[in-house]
Structure 1
Amino acid sequence: MVAAMAVLLTGCSPEYVVFNPVGPVAKTELHLIILSTILVAIVVIPVLILLAVIVYRYRDKPGNNAPYSPQWVDSKKLEIVWWGIPIIIIAILGAFTAKTTFSLTKPPENNVKPITIQVVSLNWKWLFEYPDQKIATVNYVNIPTGVPVQFELTSDAPMNSFWIPQLGGQEYTMPGMAMRLWLQADKPGTYSGYGANFSGEGFAHMNFKVNSMSEADFTNWVNQVKSSSPALTMAGYNQLKQDSLAKQQSYSSYPPGLFNDVVMQNGGQYMYKQQMPGASDSTGNSSGSMDMSNMDMGNSDSGQ
């Protein structure tokens, strides 16, 4: 009863954003959550009903005429039921989960040119780099509405988890590794992002805002940042990555190759490159594949 009340009361809160998706990735994941809930309910609800029936029917009381079979060993029919149904449910859930997971490794839409945003988690702040626009922000990220965004993720601090609930599921940020996450917002608005992995004293304040806007407004914002914001120097980055809280900031430029340098200096054994033909990395070079020839998953400082 307490668990049911907690779920219902939380569901009434506008902050329960997982059930309010605004992008194709989050909508796909919500469908998977609903399917999982239905499949689990097929088992849980009958079990709870049977529990109540058994407790009432076979309780110890005077005159109880329930059959007593002390030599009873097993029932093939019952074993088929309580093993067969879970196996079928797991098979269905596994098939849909695998299909959904692989579908989300690609851009949500193929007829729109995506953008790339490189993300570095720091203690206790988020740095966002725009390799095509050559600008950077701290603790907020602007994206064009209806455009797939490939987030490239790493960490220059303890491992964390990048999560924008209304746009999609979370992805780890790990020192020495570059992870990928495709997301997209289908309508303009401001959405909350979180660091979903405990990382120390300032963890509770490690949040950021995602502003979805029209492509025209996005272009105007980029031009405004380039014309009115200071540049992020290497000395500025070294100061930024120190353990501290930070307000929202914008930078008209940042050191070339900063994201890849962060990956490599933390033990990375490969250089992450764009998979989209003609996309540019943070050094301005065009690339069309991910070089994994020297990839060593075991060299991540944080592990998983």
Structure 2
Amino acid sequence: MVVLLQRSMRALALLPLLLALGGCNMVVMNPSGFIANQQANLILISTGLMLLIIVPVIVATFVFAWRYRAGNPNAKYDADWHHSTRLEVLIWTAPLMIIIALGAITWISTHLLDPYRPLDRIDAARAVTAETPPITVEVVALDWKWMFLYPELGIATVNELAAPVDRPINFKITSSAIMNTFYVPALAGMIYAMPGMETKLHAVINQAGVYEGLSANYSGAGFSNMHFKFHGLAPADFDAWVEKVRAEGQPLDRALYAEIEKPSEAEPVHYYSSVEDGLYQAILNMCVAPGKMCMDEMMHIDMQGGGGHDSAGTRDRLVYDGHRNHDGAGHGPEGYAGAAGGTEEPGATFPASGREPRSEETPEGVAPQGAPAGQAPAGGGHEGHGGHEGHGDASGGSVAPDQLNQTN
């Protein structure tokens, strides 16, 4: 009885999740955006083509089992039967034709629904014209919230996205710290958001309404609250929404962004009336903090052949995660693992990081703390690691060069 009660409680606890998934599936198969609608049709067409062979095979299985059952005296028994050209042609031709059809549809759809491909149609009946210019939205996945910047309008929001109906949207997507996925089921498929990289999505919403947006890639403790509302608005309503953001918002500069970037959960909607020039590019190139070198600058130096010995001084300007400690929830050696309250593997901080170990326990094969370079680990280590020719010196190997062990 107790076990049954526990199982019932678990089932009830999963009910909201199952309902949410069911609702998401209903939106996916009945979307309000032209791209998502084509993706839903692709799922239906592919499923239908596969059922053309699956359903007859299932039916034939039951028919054959019934017809040739042991109790049927009228079933023909042919012990010498071994081949039928007609049956072989049927067995191989039908699946082959279905595979060819699926391949053709997939190839065409892969190009037509490429998220990087600008839209040439608003819907099946209307093409994109000069009267329907696209609107650009720069998306930044933060811990654990979403920021949306409108470079053409000079505004930004957190956890609220809006766009006019029947107007193409060009999304530029990146992340501040960890990989996420940008997903509005009613609009288009999910696209990854990755730090230091920019992905793209072109989409359009064709029906006014309020739609759910979320991250579909687990990214830490606040992931479950990392969702937002997407408002599909009539052109006049969208203009009013823009004016509301400008009236109620505050200016967004790099200093304020640094505060917003700190991890937070279930963040309410925020409006920003203006955006500092170049902020999105600085986020994308990981150089919002003063004194940091941007990734595109470093890539330009590399393209020119590198900076040689003179480039050694730029190392600290390139460190991104190592020094971001957001009250114990940052990244790198001063973040998740190294911050107060964090956890590390015993002895994992010596000797590579230069920090004191959190435990006296020494991992197998690692020299004890304070041991001179070249001293074999306690217990002698493993034969062939250190004393073997070609693997360090005969005394048991040495600590790796400092430049290979820098983490902060």
TM-score, normalising length from structure 2? 0.58
- Cα distance change of structure 1 residues 117 and 70 upon mapping to structure 2, 3 Å threshold: farther
Give the alignment partner of residue 102 of structure 1, picking from 73, 94, 111: 111
Q: Which residue of 2 aligns with 1:170?
A: 190
Give the alignment partner of residue 279 of structure 2, picking from 209, 234, 258: 258
SS in 2 for 1:185: coil
Which residue identity does 1:142 align to in structure 2?
A
Give the alignment partner of residue 94 of structure 2, picking from 85, 102, 105: 85
Instruction: Please tell me whether the aligned partners of residues 176 and 268 of structure 1 are also in contact (alpha carbons under 8 angstroms).
Output: no
- Cα distance change of structure 1 residues 71 and 210 upon mapping to structure 2, 3 Å threshold: same
SS in 2 for 1:196: coil
What is the number of equivalent residue pairs in this alignment? 262
Which residue identity does 1:250 align to in structure 2?
Y
- Deviation at 1:75? 4.7
- Deviation at 1:227? 2.8
CA distance in 2, matches of 1:134, 1:195: 25
- Cα distance change of structure 1 residues 269 and 56 upon mapping to structure 2, 3 Å threshold: farther
Q: Which residue of 1 aligns with 2:43?
A: 33
Which residue identity does 1:133 align to in structure 2?
L
- Cα distance change of structure 1 residues 64 and 190 upon mapping to structure 2, 3 Å threshold: same
Runs of 4+ with deviation above 6 angstroms? 266-271
CA distance in 2, matches of 1:38, 1:207: 33
- Deviation at 1:102? 2.0
TM-score, normalising length from structure 1? 0.76
Instruction: Please tell me whether the aligned partners of residues 57 and 66 of structure 1 are also in contact (alpha carbons under 8 angstroms).
Output: no
Instruction: Please tell me whether the aligned partners of residues 248 and 271 of structure 2 are also in contact (alpha carbons under 8 angstroms).
Output: no
Instruction: Please tell me whether the aligned partners of residues 253 and 279 of structure 2 are also in contact (alpha carbons under 8 angstroms).
Output: no
Higher deviation after alignment, 245-254 or 74-83: 74-83
- Cα distance change of structure 1 residues 68 and 181 upon mapping to structure 2, 3 Å threshold: same
SS in 1 for 2:218: coil
SS in 1 for 2:285: helix
CA distance in 1, matches of 2:85, 2:217: 46
Q: Deviations over 1:217-251 (max 9, x none)?
A: 22222222223211223232223223321111111
- Deviation at 1:65? 4.7
Q: Which residue of 2 aligns with 1:114?
A: 134
Instruction: Please tell me whether the aligned partners of residues 67 and 75 of structure 2 are also in contact (alpha carbons under 8 angstroms).
Output: no
Q: Deviations over 1:166-225 (max 9, x none)?
A: 112111112222111111111211011121122222222111111111222222222222
Percent identity, aligned pairs only? 36
SS in 2 for 1:150: strand
Map 1:160-239 to 2 at 5 A. Answer: 160-239=180-259
Q: Which fold has the larger relative contact order, with Cα–Cα distance below 8 Å and residues 6 or more apart in sequence?
A: 1
- Cα distance change of structure 1 residues 66 and 148 upon mapping to structure 2, 3 Å threshold: same
CA distance in 2, matches of 1:92, 1:231: 54
Indicate the RMSD between aligned Cα atoms, in angstroms.
2.9
CA distance in 2, matches of 1:269, 1:78: 62
Higher deviation after alignment, 87-96 or 151-160: 87-96
Q: Structure 2: which 5+ residue stretches go unaligned?
A: 1-17, 123-127, 288-292, 298-302, 304-320, 322-408
Q: Deviations over 1:43-86 (max 9, x none)?
A: 211121122223334455696855364884x5544443333322
CA distance in 1, matches of 2:89, 2:222: 52
CA distance in 1, matches of 2:80, 2:196: 62
CA distance in 2, matches of 1:220, 1:153: 25
